[in-house]
Structure 1
């Protein structure tokens, strides 16, 4: 995979901690871009839980399309809840996020890393973070948008 040859941005990462268990979390970090591809931002995703640490580098966020920040904003706007599961995935399928609403006003975000999904011997890892549907989801969506350097639509 490519490396951050144009330097890493000085944007702090986004840490998501589970409301139910603070030892479960996700971090979006180490954002960078390439001068050859101005429509993309690359970053790493780390999952942590007791007995688990997983990381994928070079997740791509595109300047066009429906990105992670937009997905999280839609969840935050539905703070009264929904039925079923909603999901989002990166174009390269190395990061997927699914969301469910729990009685009491909490959103469960399951973050799944699956690099090289077609490769023999590939792996996948997931953690679920529970956040308050209102302010915590709104704050997360804004933090992710800021981290990815996306302009508001």
Structure 2
């Protein structure tokens, strides 16, 4: 389920399971650098990562490709932010569902010993995935 927030949006799985919030987008230096927060929650974990991108690191295009591939794909499709502080892995079960695993790393995600926490949410292929792509595009615009 997708829910708009005052400063972003939230994706939730079934009650009591994964929750992901993308919020507080900003351009700290009025250039291509675009920062936002990714907050994840799941059974027993809660983590927040400060995510740095260059103009969104093509996340809107990646999510649009997922939405266009509603019939499905094999394997994992992944997106990674500039400093590797956020990775999103997408899988399709070929039964109409897309699973998104959000993995937040910190404080310097590009370092091998950075901590990592992840949560998984599921969307229906088709309209839910299209709405997710639209939310990402609006959020990073």
TM-score (norm 1): 0.80
Task: Give yes or no for contact 2:71–2:94 (8 Å, CA) kept in 1.
Answer: no
- Structure holding more strand per residue: 2
| CA distance in 2: counterparts of 1:131 and 1:63, whole angstroms | 25
Note the C-alpha offset of 1:61: 2.8
| Partner residue, 1:124 | 116
**In the alignment, structure 1 residue 138 sits paired with structure 2 residue 130:** yes
Q: Which runs of 4+ in 1 moved over 4 A?
A: none
| Partner residue, 1:28 | 22
| Partner residue, 2:139 | 147
The one of 88, 109, 127 equivalent to 1:97 is 88
Alignment RMSD: 2.0
Note the C-alpha offset of 1:21: 4.5
Alpha-carbon deviations, 1:55-93, whole Å to 9, x = none?
012x123237x5211111100000000111111100100
Bigger Rg, which one = 1
| Structure 2 gap segments, 5+ residues each | 1-5
Note the C-alpha offset of 1:46: 0.2
**What is the count of residue pairs matched by the alignment?**
135
| Structure 1 gap segments, 5+ residues each | 1-10
**In the alignment, structure 1 residue 48 sits paired with structure 2 residue 30:** no
| Partner residue, 1:63 | 55
The one of 7, 11, 16 equivalent to 2:11 is 16
Task: Give yes or no for contact 1:89–1:96 (8 Å, CA) kept in 2.
Answer: yes
